[in-house]
Structure 1
């Protein structure tokens, strides 16, 4: 009886063990089948995305099959692909994501996907660098302008052309040309046109072509086409504003240009409303109640220009030859150092009445001045003074 129980117990134990083995075997088999389904679904998912990316899917299954897919053995000339297909950043990013997924799930197509993604990257680089390729890169359109590569900036107090140009990573000359000025002195709250690359902002005229503009302004026609996203073979629209990257303005089109002429200069310098002798009243010198200088004279122009720059001066500084004394009395700095926006003043000339103007720009060699009455009564003009002559003048800041 005891032996039968022991035998029974042993048989039951063997049956339990066999049952466990069978359950484990079934579980492993189900897991294996489940893994295969996951791999299969992942493969279908990746293949679907691959077809969309590489097959130029347009809703026609036949068209997709006919085109090159990842698994296709058909070969296509790289040059032909580049010429007919523009590779966008979004497409390349999507291709990379699909490839990474395929490699993670260890799909057999992972190698093919990796090669296809590398080819996309190479074609994108070629489309931007190869001069033989006609595909144009996408250009980000600034939100503040309908024109490509152009934005705007509203000036603040203390701004200069150099500061603004540095902010937008362009040259001060490009900024001056774009705003038709040769001045670095900028009034606040003025809206400036700002090209996003060095060159010329140009308004198209009737008869202009890309090639004629490239030749006239010493730049490359292909750069004009690419930068402004101009369609191949299309004509330019009169009145459209475009950028000529790397272009140079001819001398006679630069801001402030004055054509040479053979005339006798008339040095009719400004006549103020009063002369100053002895001490100057600070209250009188500091008073600013509007332009009290004679219209058409250098003093009248200098007052108006400083007012526009947001740097008003006194209304009763007298003749030009007393402006340095009046400025000191009003608390202004007067020295021999030129700076944009400063008044340039001299006591000599003009029959003893002196002369004043405004410093528009200073570089390592010249002082650029705007004034009135230097080239004739009531005429506003621009001129250049050598930086070496700065010591002959006084500058009111």
Structure 2
């Protein structure tokens, strides 16, 4: 093959390069477990900053299963149509913008978080900039949305719209994630090491079985720790989001809990 390549003319070689560039412009890469923006950039001979710009990524975090565009104009084209919705199969489609959550999108179209999750076969509540979501029914997205977000699993009187936990702590983050996904919890459960007993007293189910959207709780450190279960992986491991564990207060971090350790934690449902 090398001899054949050297035999081509300069003009045809240039055409081949241009054709290859066009192909790269539309390349989609599905993130695999263990990959980072840096390793993906190295694989495609591009830069981390270019990938971030093309996909409207504001930090250096990517997740297994996330589809990202490599090369091309990326975000400039998608941003022009990101707020538009097209009618399809009795619903609409929505392109996720940076900073949006499922709760925000559900409210925009007057549907529930669970309806969006079901319509798109999502196995968690994580969404990504430039991801296209199908919106079942609902409004056209131009108003504030007539419906509520997902009906809370529990309707304890102790649930609250106001987050009174200390800013940037693990409890503060989990309260916000539950609110974003339509599963409000109490703002009066005190420190993380008290959450299992307080949640049980409020009527929530507490066991050692993880579920997407449940709260992982343990007694590590002087005040314990809580995290939000974002996804259950095919191998039984968990992807959790948390604050103030391996990062400073106020910084969201993602960590994988091995399947062998999953049952050693409490889970609040």
Task: Give the shorter-chain TM-score range.
Answer: 0.3 to 0.5
Question: Could you say which structure has the greater relative contact order, defined with CA pairs below 8 angstroms and 6 or more residues apart?
Answer: 2
Larger Rg: 1
- Normalised by the length of structure 1, the TM-score is 0.33
**Which structure shows the bigger proportion of residues in helix conformation?**
1
* TM-score normalised per structure 2: 0.47
